[in-house]
Structure 1
Amino acid sequence: MKLALYQVDAFTDKIFGGNPACVVPLEQWLPDDLLLKIAGENAVAETAFFVDNGDKIHLRWFTPEIEMDLCGHATLATAHVLTSILGYTSDTIIFHTLSGDLTVTVDNDLYTLDFPSRKPTNALLPEIIKNALSKQPIAVLKSRDFVLVYEQESDIRNITINRQILDQINLDPGGVIITAKGDNCDFVSRFFTPQASILEDPVTGSAHCSLIPYWSEQLGKTEMLALQLSDRVGTLFCINRGDRVLIKGKAKTYSTGFLYTD
């Protein structure tokens, strides 16, 4: 079987920045084990598969290990492929997903993701995560992911993670967000996934479903600029709308081609 394959750098306006995602259009759904194998072969944090049903586009996200319930950068990448490569002309795209219907609006080269808010609440930090951190947070919260708050941006930049220790915990499908106020933006973050083939996710849209409501309350702002401080760096324009969050970003096509399953 021959399938189209697109690789897109999301939440960036530069090649080799942001978070790379693969996008694979399908005419009908393939077996889940085959989708996982394709995602593993692609060797990026997420591969998005979609089937266009006409009124809505059924979208699913796979890491090399599991199917995810929500993924921001691969959703943005899919919208980019639809509009910039596949000739999709509507400025509003509705995706049917495990997290409900998600809308992406397109304004030239800027994509706005309308995602559910996942406001984190106070939590206790598991001992395994605590022991894996080179510096301890000043606050611990949790939604799908643990949200660890630090005093300043330099803490986020300089922290080290003991992967051997962190991989002893299974947060499937969640991860560990570390965050602080930004020096030249509203807030910064990094994201780590225990037991995943890629420990640090370069830019994590879904993490901002928790970061946006948290920092909106802390800063007294509804519109914020965020940076994810991985080596690739990601830029996210964020809006808090109560039970929803808007996450805006750009994307660049890195490659187009085909994959073969036999």
Structure 2
Amino acid sequence: MENSIDKNEMKFSSYAVFTDKVSGLSGNTSTVVVLDHPLSGRQMQDIASDLWQPATTFLWKEGNHWHVRWFAPDQEIGLCGHGSMAAVACLHDKGITDFDLHFNGGIISGGVENDRCYITLEIIPVVEELKIEDYLLKALKIPILGHYQTSNKNIILTDNQESVKSMRPNFEILRSSPIFGYAVTAPGDHCDFVSRTLVPHVHQLEDPATGSSHAALAPFWASRLHKTEMEAIQLSKRGGKFYLKMQGTTVRLSGDHDKLNAGTIYLR
């Protein structure tokens, strides 16, 4: 780990993860800030607000453990898959190839295999199937075949890839419900399944490539397709490519990445 010149100077690097250059998928971006010591939540939030990334990832080491927290520009993120992938890419650049990331909700293992970053997440199972409310039909204006509650984002099942791709969500209507987010999904034309992640209560509204959504979508589709290894595409404006492998109660998410920039942050 590189030492900072003083306690007010921190190194950062930014990554796009879950990319696929062949298909023109740009993935999701996260700036990773490596700390000599943990900052307060307020300090981390201020930095994330300045950087204005979908997620700013803060990494620091205590003893033998790497610790991580993630912040959107307007609030802390409880679990961030693409931020974790960016942390893996950052540590790999420093020559660290096998490790665990400790966060408030548990431990994420990560590493690099065949030049592709991966993280292992606990699967997020469906809690129950819900009634398809009128507000969802009005907000999404696509066929809804099922609405499923999870402990993270709710899953909305629709009929085909084109419905997911062409959907024009009405976020004002979606905000009328307290549900934090939705993973809208369907079978894929050239992959196992496709999805989009809608988060109406935060500034971003739609996430480009979402690891936490796929921790729920992987078991959802594994049971329907009777497969333990799958490929998925997130049909956001930037787009994302995911390689998924079910491993009991966990799922390994793998993907390609690109380093975008690096520099120094000075703590105010």
- TM interval, short-chain normalised: over 0.9
**Count of aligned positions:** 257
Q: Of 246, 255, 258, which aligns to 1:240?
A: 246
- Counterpart in the other structure of 2:153: 145
CA distance in 2, matches of 1:130, 1:23: 38
Q: What is the Cα deviation at residue 125 of structure 1? A: 4.3
CA distance in 2, matches of 1:145, 1:51: 28
CA distance in 1, matches of 2:122, 2:164: 25
- Counterpart in the other structure of 1:255: 261
Q: Taking structure 1 as reference, are residues 65 and 125 closer, same or farther at Cα in structure 2, changes over 3 Å only? A: farther
Q: What is the Cα deviation at residue 128 of structure 1? A: 4.2
**Counterpart of 1:44 in 2: which secondary structure?**
coil
For 1:169, the aligned partner's letter is S
- Counterpart in the other structure of 1:229: 235
CA distance in 2, matches of 1:259, 1:16: 29
- The reply on whether 1:27 has 2:36 as its aligned counterpart is yes
Q: Taking structure 1 as reference, are residues 63 and 169 closer, same or farther at Cα in structure 2, changes over 3 Å only? A: farther
Structure 2 residues not aligned, in runs of 5+: 1-7
**Counterpart of 1:3 in 2: which secondary structure?**
strand
**Contact 1:109/1:251, CA 8 A, preserved across alignment:** no
- Counterpart in the other structure of 1:93: 99
- Counterpart in the other structure of 1:194: 200
CA distance in 2, matches of 1:112, 1:74: 12
Q: Taking structure 1 as reference, are residues 205 and 182 closer, same or farther at Cα in structure 2, changes over 3 Å only? A: same
**Contact 1:7/1:20, CA 8 A, preserved across alignment:** yes
**Counterpart of 1:33 in 2: which secondary structure?**
helix
**Counterpart of 2:82 in 1: which secondary structure?**
helix
- Counterpart in the other structure of 1:159: 167
Q: What's the C-alpha RMSD, in Å, of the aligned pairs?
A: 1.7
CA distance in 1, matches of 2:134, 2:64: 47
Deviation sequence 1:2-59 (CA, Å, 0-9, x none): 2212110011154981001111011111111121121122112111101112422001
- Counterpart in the other structure of 1:10: 17
For 1:212, the aligned partner's letter is A
Q: What is the Cα deviation at residue 166 of structure 1? A: 2.0
Q: Taking structure 1 as reference, are residues 163 and 197 closer, same or farther at Cα in structure 2, changes over 3 Å only? A: same
**Which stretch shifts more, 128-137 or 189-198?**
128-137
Q: What is the Cα deviation at residue 129 of structure 1? A: 3.9
* % identical equivalent positions: 30
- Counterpart in the other structure of 2:3: none
Q: What is the Cα deviation at residue 240 of structure 1? A: 1.5
Q: Taking structure 1 as reference, are residues 122 and 137 closer, same or farther at Cα in structure 2, changes over 3 Å only? A: same
